[in-house]
Amino acid sequence: KAGVTQTPRYLIKTRGQQVTLSCSPISGHRSVSWYQQTPGQGLQFLFEYFSETQRNKGNFPGRFSGRQFSNSRSEMNVSTLELGDSALYLCASSLNLNNEQFFGPGTRLTVL
């Protein structure tokens, strides 16, 4: 079975721009979660989707948003990028809620 895939793997943007990151879960998995990883703050939960519904949201500003499609693929969007948004964004999928999560390789976002 193919693992979690994330596109693009690397992205460079400038302040004020917006960005969309994509995540394809493992086939059959219905839950997708997103995390931000930075050297200073570590791994922080962004949000979780299950059956196209946001089930849980972390403590991030409204510039961070996401969605899930009927095929369980998910996207997250960050608008009005700030330097502090530079991070590794990780997507994880699980079969259902409360199952173990399997992570993708991440998208490395650099904001200049």
Q: Is 74 in the site for another protein (CB under 8 A)?
A: no
Which residue in the set 56, 77, 80, 110 belongs to the binding site for another protein (CB under 8 A)? 56
Query: Is the C-alpha dihedral spanning 38, 88, 81, 26 positive or negative?
Result: negative
Which uninterrupted H or E stretch holds 69? none
Q: Is 24 in the site for another protein (CB under 8 A)?
A: no
Q: Is 106 in the site for another protein (CB under 8 A)?
A: yes
CB of 16 to another protein, least distance (A): 28
Distance CA 81, CA 58 (A): 18
Which uninterrupted H or E stretch holds 53? strand 53-57
Contact 92, 103 (CB under 8 A): yes
Which residue in the set 80, 97, 110, 112 belongs to the binding site for another protein (CB under 8 A)? 97
Binding site for another protein (CB under 8 A): 4, 31, 33, 35, 42-45, 48, 50, 55-56, 58, 90, 92, 94, 97-98, 100-106
